[in-house]
Amino acid sequence: MMANNNIGPKRLVVGASYGLRDWLAQRVTAIIMAIYTIILLGLFLSGNNFSYEGWAGIFAQQWFKLATFTVFMALFYHAWVGMRDVWMDYVTQSVILRLVFQVATIVWLVASAGYAAQILWRV
């Protein structure tokens, strides 16, 4: 009878990056997005100027632009961890295909971050 070396503390773990760092990153980025949502909801419910000018006034403040960009960065990192795990778990037929999907995801997220910065700080 052969011994099964794939159990216990010395087991071989493959697939998505199973680790505390990724788990924690997902939770921290989710908390950042939740706090921002509460702030945005508070501004919406406490305001009385629901026009374009009112919202533009809120987003004209530098602290709010930075908070918004921080939330976008948290969203993009949150999306990267999730999509990387999806590609690693479900695209197992071809390493090259998985790499193509991961690179396409990175390119999309970096382009989205650049577009978010352009929107927030355009003159």
pLDDT on residue 2:
55
By the 8 A CB rule, do 34 and 71 touch? no
The one-letter amino acid at 14? V
Residue 17 has pLDDT above 90, yes or no: no
Mean pLDDT of 1-19: 59
Of 122, 108, 50, give the one whose Cα is nearest residue 75: 108
Q: 2-6, 35-39, 71-75: which range is least confident on average?
A: 2-6
Residue 58 has pLDDT above 60, yes or no: yes
Residue 44 has pLDDT above 90, yes or no: no
